[in-house]
Amino acid sequence: MNLLRIFLCRLHGLFRRQKSENDLAEEIRFHLEMQIQDNRRLGMHPEEAYFHALRKFGGVDQMKETYRDNHSLRFLETVVQDVRFALRLMRRNPGFSLLAILCLTVGIGATTAAFSWIEGILLRPFPAVAGQDRMVAVVGTMRGAAEFDNVSWPDLQDLQKNSTKTEWFVADRIFGTTLSIGDRAERASGSVVSANYFQALGVQPILGRAFEPSEEMGRNAHPVTVISFRTWKDRYKGDPAIVGKTQMLNGVRHTIIGVAPEGFYGTFVGYAIQFWVPASMEQTFDGGGYKLDKRDARWIEGFARLKPGATLAQAQSEISTIAAELEHENSTTNRGRGIRLFPLSQTPFNGAGTLLPTLRIALVVACFVLLIACGNVGNLLLVRSLSRRREISVRLAIGAGRIRLIRQLLTEGLILSIVAAAGGILVAYWCRGLVTLLFPASPGIIINLPAQIDWRVLGLSAGISVFSTLVIGLMPALRASKIDLASSMKASSGGVLSDGSKSFVRSVLVLIQVSLSFLLLVGAGLMLKSLQELKKVDPGFATSGVLTTSVDLISAGYDPVRARNFEDELIDQIQAIPGVESAVFSRITPFSYRSYSSGAIIVDGYVAAPDEQTAQEYNEVGPAYFSTLGIPMVSGREFLRSDNETALPVAIVNESFAAKYWHDRNPLGKRIQLDGRWLSVVGVAKNSKYRSLMEVPKPFFYVPLRQGALGVGLQIRTTLPPAAILAQLRKQIRSLDGALAPGEVITMREQVDRMNWTQRTGVILLGAFSALALGLATIGLYGVMAYAVSQSTRELGLRMALGARSIDLVRLVASRGLRLTIGGVVFGALISVGLTRLMSDVLYQVSARDPLTFVVALVVIMMAAAAACFFPAIRATQIDPVRSLKD
């Protein structure tokens, strides 16, 4: 308590400094007056009495200093003094201060922005959801396959019953829906969810209620919906009486029972969900029949939350055991099937899993940019400390301690870092939506990639500021504090070639900057080359001359008979348009987000191994599908209009399917059993890609759309541009059904490119960061060479006086800069060989040691170095020999 009282008294004195000084002076004056009066009473002369009193009292200034030490916090006072001095120094050198702050702002801003993306998109992607650190994604696996699958409703229910390491499981499935508003229809994004969805996530509707357990079962039995806050505000104008009103969704009238809170966008990274419906309505929005009682119908993108104290490894072990039991009990549908839990940052079925490698690389690259920026500012501070040698020498000569001097120089660096951190946070705030701009947009889809600048990101910025201060301020401070007083008081000038220890630290910093810049250029080059290689990949179908769009008959409530008639009439009208060769409906368009149908199959004459997975994916397609998309037929025929619900069930398999199940035998006429029906194989098609250009060939088959499913995708082979086709489509569709409208019309090339958007995003981000790094490194090299020339005027003047030509001086100056660059490139190449291996999961058909990429990066960085050395070299030729020798 006594120490606390002393501290508070001293702290109080810090804020009442002037009054304390006045009180101290008054008290000293009082004591001197009393002593003088005592001396006068003893008979002393007034002047003698005064001096005698002073001698007896002691040194007044020393007394004041002792008082100040005992009644104030001298450490805080010196800190305030250092801050004031640093601010005055920044004001006297605005160019230096702005350059240093700009470099640090770029580095801190890039790092903070990258971390805010990871925080908001990967680590905590669902605003308003509590306990995200314990949430995991529930994903289906197939033995021997690298791809992941969804989970069936019966499997999810069994996981919920038998798991002891989780609190809950929820089902989620994103869909596109037709929202009918008056006499027009709009596209909107929605989700089919389990009844416990909102309750499990801790999301309470602000109006109305969430779903009840009874509403998740039955065939289209509960047409109710919860709408998002944004939908309520934008489309319903914030109607307080919205609960109980109805809305047409997918041709079915749904009752609005609740409004989600503001800030809740669902559980799909990238899209802001506008509507939620219970699982009982799945058939209405996804088609393909009722799936809640089918164990082999895998459509759920599930989530779970671990119980407190349970680890992911423990939960995975338990889930794997349950999945093994399900496989044993349901050998037909679950053979070779497993369940895997993923942290949110690695979720395979939404934007998180695809963005993870890109954002991870972006964060590492941003840290490299920060290091380069710190190196730049460190070089600037070193140069300034050398220009202040006399000032520092005088301070040391009159008794300033080296620790005190280091603290002052560190304070100057801290001020720069704090200002730059504030600027960096602003840069990160402005760039928080950058990834959203790179996300492929579609009509009716609200993009939501929420970068979070919360207390964690702010804490990171504070940590970066401290790190930057130590990196950029400690080395110059330590170097400045070791000045030799005798030599520093003499005028000296270094040489361009023999700079010695004076330029060693600056040269090392430039080497690091060049090395990191070279590494980033190599990384950007590898990503760019990988993207180019992806564009060369043949997807197995035509990407030019084919357009794709959608006409959602499921959303409009069409039954199969009505849908067949509509499809036939529309196809006939489209093919009558001049410039159109053919058109076809399919349930799934290749390289779209929607999942293909899948089911357990039995192949006539093929005996599956005990643990072999018998479920295969397939697509429902219309007549002329293969000729329209340009997929060659190896043998047999395409589907015909006569392949309808009254005809013999048929199928077309791809080459991989035929090779796996029939080897060298002719597949035509062979049979496949699917959902209890035997399908006769009538054709074999060439292999193609279905979801990604990077996927390996896999077994796949096709069934006629006219034998059971409803089409959504529409592909058109034509020479007309998308805009012309869209106008014709709208006209033709409106003539058949005024309540329908076509979706976005794009080329198949654009459809493919959209599924490769993460590679394109990686190239853009890495390219931007590499350009920043190269610019900072160039500035750093320029600063070193410019300072070397300014400190070498005497040597350069002497060389000119002795007959050196301008070209000799240019060669002399440039050679040192190029030597630094070559050293940095060599060091950077050694680092690149090891670190670029970390990019292997985002590279396609490109070696991490691709020699061409390294050569191009070398050329680029040598050109930048030549530009950085050019102006200092030219400046060296303009030195006046006579004046430099006199100086």
Query: 45 CB contacts (<8 Å, ≥6 apart)?
Result: none
Q: How far apart are alpha carbons 438 and 246 in whole angstroms?
A: 36
Flag whether pLDDT at 21 surpasses 80. Answer: no
What are the angstrom distances between the C-alpha of 475 and each of 254, 724, 773? 68, 66, 22
Give pLDDT, residue 704.
93
Which of 195-209, 323-337, 729-743 shows the lowest per-residue confidence on average (mean pLDDT)? 729-743
Give pLDDT, residue 153.
92
Give pLDDT, residue 4.
62
Give pLDDT, residue 881.
66
Flag whether pLDDT at 145 surpasses 90. Answer: no
More confident residue, 339 or 389: 339
Query: What's the whole-number mean pLDDT along residues 851-861?
Result: 88
Q: Of 672, 674, 673, whose CA–CA distance to 654 is shortest?
A: 672
Rg (the chain; Cα; Å):
37
What are the angstrom distances between the C-alpha of 411 and each of 82, 107, 519? 6, 20, 32
Query: 7 CB contacts (<8 Å, ≥6 apart)?
Result: none
Instruction: With beta carbons less than 8 A apart as the criterion, state whether 447 and 266 touch.
Output: no
pTM score, whole prediction: 0.70
Instruction: List 190's β-bridge partners, or say none.
Output: 175, 275
Q: Of 172, 178, 176, whose CA–CA distance to 189 is shortest?
A: 176
In tens, the pLDDT along 435-464 reads 776 666 665 566 667 677 777 777 877 777
Residue 25 pLDDT level (bands cut at 50, 70, 90): confident
Give pLDDT, residue 167.
92
Q: What is the bridge-based pairing of β-strands 302-306 and 166-170?
A: antiparallel
Q: How far apart are alpha carbons 794 and 553 in whole angstroms?
A: 85
Query: What's the whole-number mean pLDDT along residues 117-140?
Result: 86
At which residue do the structure tokens 């290749």 appear?
Answer: 590
Instruction: With beta carbons less than 8 A apart as the criterion, state whether 140 and 148 touch.
Output: yes
Residue 7: count other Cβ atoms within 10 Å of its Cβ: 11
What are the angstrom distances between the C-alpha of 614 and each of 208, 419, 680, 796? 45, 62, 18, 81
For the chain, give the mean pLDDT: 81
Residue 228 pLDDT level (bands cut at 50, 70, 90): very high
At which residue do the structure tokens 């505000």 appear?
Answer: 233
Share of the chain above pLDDT 90, in %: 22
Q: Of 473, 486, 531, 553, whose CA–CA distance to 737 is shortest?
A: 553
Query: What's the whole-number mean pLDDT along residues 645-665?
Result: 91
Q: 159-168, 350-359, 384-393: which has the highest mean pLDDT?
A: 159-168
For the stretch 727-737, what's the b/e string if a residue is b when 16 or more beta carbons lie within 10 angstroms of its beta carbon?
A: ebbeebbeeeb
Burial class from Cβ neighbours inside 10 Å (0-12, 13-18, 19+) for residue 46 reads exposed
Residue 491 pLDDT level (bands cut at 50, 70, 90): very low
Instruction: With beta carbons less than 8 A apart as the criterion, state whether 483 and 393 touch.
Output: yes
More confident residue, 677 or 184: 677
In tens, the pLDDT along 865-876 reads 888 877 777 777
User: According to the 3-state scheme, what is the secondary structure of 397-445?
Assistant: HCCCCHHHHHHHHHHHHHHHHHHHHHHHHHHHHHCCCHHHHHCCCCCCC
At which residue do the structure tokens 């070279």 appear?
Answer: 518
Q: How far apart are alpha carbons 710 and 288 in whole angstroms?
A: 8
Q: Of 374, 251, 253, whose CA–CA distance to 710 is shortest?
A: 251
Instruction: List 226's β-bridge partners, or say none.
Output: 258, 276
Instruction: List 784's β-bridge partners, or say none.
Output: none
Which of 347-361, 408-422, 491-505, 615-629 shows the lowest per-residue confidence on average (mean pLDDT)? 491-505
Residue 18: count other Cβ atoms within 10 Å of its Cβ: 7
Instruction: With beta carbons less than 8 A apart as the criterion, state whether 293 and 240 touch.
Output: no
At which residue do the structure tokens 């000293």 appear?
Answer: 28
In tens, the pLDDT along 562-614 reads 888 898 999 999 999 999 999 999 988 998 877 788 777 889 888 877 767 67
Backbone angles phi, psi at 591, to 5 degrees: 65, 35
The letter for the amino acid at 546 is V
Q: What is the bridge-based pairing of β-strands 172-181 and 246-249?
A: antiparallel
What are the angstrom distances between the C-alpha of 353 and each of 122, 806, 822, 861? 8, 58, 39, 34
Give pLDDT, residue 171.
93
In tens, the pLDDT along 376-425 reads 777 777 767 666 666 666 666 666 667 777 777 778 778 888 888 888 88
Q: How far apart are alpha carbons 772 and 780 in whole angstroms?
A: 12
Return the structure tokens found at 759.
Answer: 């590679």
In tens, the pLDDT along 64-119 reads 666 655 555 566 667 777 778 777 877 877 877 787 788 888 888 888 888 888 88
Which conformational region is residue 337 in: left (phi greater than 0), alpha (psi within -120 to 50 degrees), or beta? beta
Query: 694 CB contacts (<8 Å, ≥6 apart)?
Result: 534, 844
Give pLDDT, residue 148.
81
Give pLDDT, residue 499.
46
